[in-house]
Amino acid sequence: MRVTSPDWIIVGAGFTGAVLAERLASQAGRRVLVVDRRDHIAGNAYDYRGPWDILVHRYGPHIFHTNSKKIWDYLSRFTEWRPYFHHVVAHIDGKYAPIPFNLNTIEDLFPRRMAEAMTQGLIDTYGYGAKVPILRMREEGAEQLRYLADYIYRKVFENYTFKQWSLKPEELDPSVSARVPIHVSRDDRYFQDIYQAMPVDGYSAMFARILAHENITVSTSTEFEAVRGLYPGAKVVFTGPIDEYFKFEHGALPYRSLRFRLFERPGPEAQPVGTVNYPNEFDFTRITEFKHLTGQRADGTILIEEYPEAYVPGRNEPYYPIPTGDTAAALVPYQAMAHQLKGKVWFAGRLGDYAYYNMDQACGRALALFEKQLAVT
């Protein structure tokens, strides 16, 4: 495959790569070649129409949420949205209780008097509306709150975290446990961001519009290696794994992978909410039902189970960078190598930065990189 000499090669057609391609093409008038080794665009946000026309997310459920008006406005040029507030319940001691753990969860799981006392204790200590990381609450506060924190730690957090990462919560970077705080409120929504929605026609349709610019050529099922030497003058943005780019010279960075099992059922919704977490039973962590996310009405339903597993290069996908102090240190020599390529190759995105980004963060990273560096290159 050869196209008229591009100014830029962008490796990866996920959020980071697609947004950068669009900016370079539309704002800087550059010719851009986007390659992706997968046979589709949209990276991990890829979706397709399954049975009953239901939109299925191949790489696990993706719910869009952001507090950034800038990111929201930018993406809104390429899609209409369906407002959607994600709800999650966890199966605990035979009951389904709302997650993140909040005042309603306490009422569902504890006898009335006890629940009232815990609620009052939380409000008095932290104030209504506070979000308290579980590890922090475990170390401080009155006995009753430590009891509650221990309960949540054991029933909700410990086994789920171990299944997800094969690590204990304490071994992870505190930013990870801070992602699942206790909410001192009755807000049952899984996210609290200002903007929460799903693209009406799905993510893949949104990506097709982002990339539909006359200056952009997209080549899927194409490895970076296949085009690397073809355009010596082109600058490169690499959104694949940074360690892979440098041929693992300083060893492989660790990732966590996932296996998905899709299954279908005839009939209406099979679950009360979008996602049910199973912290303590089964090998999978959670089941998500797509119809809740997309708001589609259909005679059947499609669900997805997620089985975390070790990442084995060549066998499965590198989904999550593993956020610990050790992995942060392992990244440093690669950042130094990337620095040597300054002005020729840029690294960005979940795999290029080796960072645990949500979709809006990947989009924000791309917009900022364009504005601060690439626009003037």
Ligand X SMILES: Cc1cc2nc3c(=O)[nH]c(=O)nc-3n(C[C@H](O)[C@H](O)[C@H](O)COP(=O)(O)OP(=O)(O)OC[C@H]3O[C@@H](n4cnc5c(N)ncnc54)[C@H](O)[C@@H]3O)c2cc1C
Question: Which positions touch ligand X (CB under 6 A)?
Answer: 11-17, 35-38, 43-45, 59-63, 223-224, 239-240, 258, 319, 349-351, 357-360, 362
Q: Which is nearer to ligand X, 14 or 100 (CB)?
A: 14
Please answer whether residues 19 and 210 qualify as being in contact, where contact means their C-beta atoms are separated by less than 8 angstroms. Answer: yes
Q: Which is nearer to ligand X, 32 or 351 (CB)?
A: 351
Q: Which is nearer to ligand X, 103 or 369 (CB)?
A: 369
Q: Which is nearer to ligand X, 239 or 294 (CB)?
A: 239
Q: Which is nearer to ligand X, 17 or 181 (CB)?
A: 17
Please answer whether residues 33 and 227 qualify as being in contact, where contact means their C-beta atoms are separated by less than 8 angstroms. Answer: yes
Minimal distance in Å, beta carbon 317 to ligand X? 8
Please answer whether residues 36 and 220 qualify as being in contact, where contact means their C-beta atoms are separated by less than 8 angstroms. Answer: yes
Show the beta-strand stretches assigned E in 184-340.
Answer: 195-199, 216-219, 235-238, 255-266, 275-277, 286-289, 300-310, 320-321
Distance CA 164, CA 107 (A): 27
Minimal distance in Å, beta carbon 288 to ligand X? 9
305 alpha-carbon distance from chain centroid: 16
Please answer whether residues 234 and 33 qualify as being in contact, where contact means their C-beta atoms are separated by less than 8 angstroms. Answer: yes
Q: Which is nearer to ligand X, 101 or 311 (CB)?
A: 311
DSSP 93: T
Q: 């992978």: which residue's tokens?
A: 257
Minimal distance in Å, beta carbon 361 to ligand X? 6
Residue 179, amino acid: R
Q: Which is nearer to ligand X, 78 or 115 (CB)?
A: 78
Strand partners, 98: 89
CA distances from 257 to 94, 144, 171, 309 (A): 29, 38, 18, 5
Minimal distance in Å, beta carbon 182 to ligand X? 21
Minimal distance in Å, beta carbon 240 to ligand X? 2
Q: Which is nearer to ligand X, 23 or 38 (CB)?
A: 38
N- to C-terminal Cα separation, the chain: 26
Minimal distance in Å, beta carbon 116 to ligand X? 34
Q: 């809104």: which residue's tokens?
A: 76
Minimal distance in Å, beta carbon 233 to ligand X? 20
Please answer whether residues 347 and 242 qualify as being in contact, where contact means their C-beta atoms are separated by less than 8 angstroms. Answer: yes
Minimal distance in Å, beta carbon 368 to ligand X? 13
What's the angle, vertex CA 354, arms to CA 85 and CA 374, rounded to 5? 90
What SS3 class is residue 10?
A: strand
